Each structure stands twice: as structure tokens, then as C-alpha cells.
Amino acid sequence: MVALSTISVWRRVLSTRHRGRMIDATTAERWMRAALEEAAAAVDHGDVPVGAIVVAPDGTEVGRGRNRREQLADPTAHAELEALRAAAATLGGWRLDGCTLVVTLEPCPMCAGALVQSRVAALVFGADDPKAGAVTSLFDLVRDPRLPHRVEVLRGVLAADCAALLRSFFAPRRYTPRRQGARVDEWGGLENR
């Protein structure tokens, strides 16, 4: 009984530590609109439109990024990694304590891992990625209690807008498979972002 009550106290302490870190719904939507603008810019260089913003605990933007995998010919050039790198450069260190990453699409396993590594406090995402998502769809890497850090999650912010942008990118490509950039056969799991 003693052990159980000790565990329950620690659970309460841990949940208190995380409480209040998540930005409110209105603020989340405002940042998601900024992430959507960043995502839309990826289309200019033939990349799947995914955008991300890192917001510091004081509510200011410290980094942003968009998918540049085609542009840079870099398999790791996802929006989240670009935004995390920019934020670390702005803040002068790899620990992004208290920061929130806002991204238009559910992160993949690589980016979910990077969120844990960066120690961000919170993740806000828009559309689900049922084929490759590593936050709710296939895995939950950012809230796995076996890992040394957990991230608070707000899911589905402006999800319809985020999904519509992706659909508008892929729709014409479904019928022109020879076109440069993302191809219809890569649509499954948004593998080209």
C-alpha cells in the first residue's frame, strides 16, 4: 500500500509538471495558420506541403521550417527537423525546454524521435497521417513512458485545412505520374514529405 501511494503521488507530481504548458486553442490555431503558410510555400519547390513553427515559452516564434526533401535532396529535410534546428540556433542550445512545436501533419517516427530528443514541452498538429504517423496513428513515440522525456499533445488543430492543402497538392499528381516531385505511388503514407 505504501508503494502504491508513493507511485500515485509521483504520478500527480509528474502531471503537475506538465500542466499549463500547452498553449490555448486560440493561440494554437493562430500558430497553425502560420505553419500552413510555411507549408504552402513548399509547393513552390515541388515538396509536399508540410510546415512547422517552434514557439518559445514566452509566446514568440524561435524557428520555422517546411518540407524541403525534394529541394535539398535530403531524406531528413522534414518541416519539423528544419524548425527544431532553427529554434536551437536561435536559442543557442539543443534543449528546447518549454517550447511548443506546431506542425500541419502528424509527425513521422524520425520527427517524433527528434521531438523527444529536443525536450520540447508540447506538440500541436493538424492532420493525422494514418500511414506513417508516430504520435497517434501507428505509434505514440512522444508519450512513451519508457523514453526519458514525454511531450504533451494537442491533435487536430485546423485539421481540415491542413488535409485540404495536402489533397490539393496530390490531386493533380494522381493523373500525371511522370511529373517531377511527389508521385502518386508515394501518396501512401506521405512518403515524399
**How many chain residues bind Zn ion (CB under 5 A)?**
4
Beta strands in 116-163 (DSSP E): 122-127, 152-155
Which residue's CB is nearer to Zn ion, number 31 or number 125?
Answer: 125
Give 33: exposed, middle or buried? Use CB within 10 Å, 0-12, 13-18, 19+: middle
Which single residue is written with the C-alpha cell 500541419?
A: 104
Q: State the nearest-atom distance from the C-beta of 16 to Zn ion, in Å.
A: 31
The angle that helices 25-42 and 159-173 make with each other, rounded to 10 degrees, is: 10
Residues 6+ apart with CB under 8 A from 10: none
Using rule CB under 5 A, residue 78 touches Zn ion: yes
> Residue 101 and residue 179: Cα distance in Å, rounded?
32
In the complex, least distance from residue 80 CB atom to Zn ion, rounded to whole angstroms: 5
Residue 37, C-alpha cell as written in the block: 503558410
* Partners of 66 in beta bridges: 51
SS3 category, 71: helix
Minimum separation from the CB atom of position 108 to Zn ion (A): 3
Binding characters for Zn ion, 98-127, by CB under 5 A (x = yes): ----------x-xx----------------
SS3 for 13? helix
By beta-carbon proximity to Zn ion, the closer residue of 88 and 108 is 108
Region binding Zn ion by CB under 5 A among candidate stretches 6-14, 22-30, 66-74, 76-84? 76-84
Residue with Cβ nearer Zn ion (39 or 108): 108
Question: Of 68 and 173, which has the nearer Cβ to Zn ion?
Answer: 68
Q: Catalytic site residue 37? A: no
Q: How many Cβ atoms are within 10 Å of 50's Cβ, its own excluded?
A: 35
Read off the C-alpha cell for 101: 512545436
**CB-nearer residue toward Zn ion: 111 or 157:** 111
**What minimum distance in Å lies between the beta carbon of 134 and Zn ion?**
8
Which entry of 38, 70, 80, 106 is annotated as an active-site residue?
80
Please, which of residues 19-58 interact with Zn ion by CB under 5 A?
none
Residues that bind Zn ion (CB under 5 A): 78, 108, 110-111
Q: Which residues are catalytic?
A: 80
